[in-house]
Amino acid sequence: MAKALLLPPPLLAAALLVAAASASAFAPAPAVPVHGTNRSGCYSHFFAFGDSLIDTGNFIHYSTAPGPVARSPYGETFFHRPTGRWSDGRLIVDFIVERLGFPYWTPYLDGKTKEDFRYGANFAVASSTALNQLFFKKKHINVDGITPYSLGVQIGWFKKVLAMLGSTDQERREIMASSLFLVGEIGVNDYNHPFFQNKTLGFVRPLVPQVIRSIGLSLEALIQLGAKTLYVPGIFPLGCVPRYLFLFRNSEPGDYEPATGCLRWLNDLTALHNTLLKAKLDELRRAHPGVSITYVDYYGEVLSVITSPARYGFGDRTALDACCAGGGLHNANFTIHCTEPGAVQCPDPSKYVTWDGLHMTEAMYRVMARGVLDGPFATPPLMSRCEKYYTNKAPEMCLHLVVPNAKE
């Protein structure tokens, strides 16, 4: 959150980089060395929208009090310093960018010129919501920890970048048609903020159709601008999030799923969101038959890891535990943040699914990215178009498309 509250820090968001030399001075990280330059002939640009699941620096650029994400041990695994990513290392979008052969691109709020957005942009902001801040204010939700940069605002930012990249309607349509769009995950914070302000399921559940409507309007806006390839993730199982397991630690035994230990009613809420989202995507496909709209199953992906953690290289006994947090049940006490005195940090983040009780580790984001890039949690997988391009254009360029080993 933008303020140091006794609430969890912002949950989830999108994309590439902005590195931090210290809590107050941030400097860009080096470009990823994938064949030196962009080799992704299948996509001219990559644009991402969402929250802290994919935010690579927007939050720390606007917030006057970015909180724990600006301090070590955030970023320790890969960048070896905080970068504005709510994790110990890279995020899903980082792995996607690497596979596409792009350099890490600039978070929108750190960009100034056309050159900054040469390969695309990341508009995701930690703590952002699908519904706008005013909506929650009218619902008597404290909005101090809710960024004003909702999904609709991020779409507005994108329009400014598009106008910068293309000076004519024809140029802009060509950019839209040849670009890749990752829209989400978004919506988790629409539920997190009320729950962490002691609102009940009876308050939160009616928000779901409104969240889906907002996502649908944003997708429609991109399609009207000419987008042809969109990947839209659902949300992951909230009932398996350590902070929720700690928050509702006095639940009855029957509230938990026997196979996973996750909270059944929270996973049911997640499933409702994803069901309505898939229905909305079907509706958009019927309305726009020439547009490829792919649902990404983060729910199934994360649940498969929670159910069989050892299969993915995670610890059997720590699948529901936070690596770096405030102790207590599942090491998820949110009165102490990961960077504060008294926090408990695990010796090896690669064995943990969750980093700070809300956000995930680089190791888990790697698994999730692979599910999008190569399947089976996105159909067609993101790289399928690239494989066809390289096969038709230059087979020797397929080398960097090889699926990495699980323990790379």
Is-contact 183 124, C-beta < 8 A? no
Is-contact 193 199, C-beta < 8 A? no
d(CA 260, CA 89): 26
Question: Which phi and psi angles does 202 have, rounded to 5°?
Answer: -60, -30
Is-contact 10 86, C-beta < 8 A? yes
Closest CA to 240 of 358, 124, 153: 358
Is-contact 155 49, C-beta < 8 A? yes
Report the SS3 class of residue 246.
helix
Determine the number of helices (DSSP H) and then strands (DSSP E) in the chain.
13, 7
DSSP 247-276: HTTT--GGGB-TTT--BHHHHHHHHHHHHH
User: Hey, which bits of 265-373 come out as E strands?
Assistant: 292-296, 324-325, 344-345
Structure tokens at 38: 């962009």
Is-contact 74 85, C-beta < 8 A? yes
Q: How far is CA 21 from the centre of its chain?
A: 23
Catalytic residue among 55, 110, 356, 374: 356
Instruction: Let me know if 116 is a catalytic residue.
Output: no
Is-contact 49 158, C-beta < 8 A? yes
What is each CA distance from 13 to 71, 151, 214, 281, in whole angstroms? 18, 11, 16, 20
Question: Which phi and psi angles does 185 have, rounded to 5°?
Answer: -65, 140
Catalytic residue among 40, 44, 45, 52: 52
Closest CA to 54 of 15, 17, 16, 82: 15
Instruction: Let me know if 127 is a catalytic residue.
Output: no
What does DSSP assign to residue 117? G
Catalytic residue among 193, 273, 330, 359: 359
Instruction: Let me know if 359 is a catalytic residue.
Output: yes
Neighbours of 350 (CB within 10 A): 18
Residues identified as active-site: 52, 356, 359
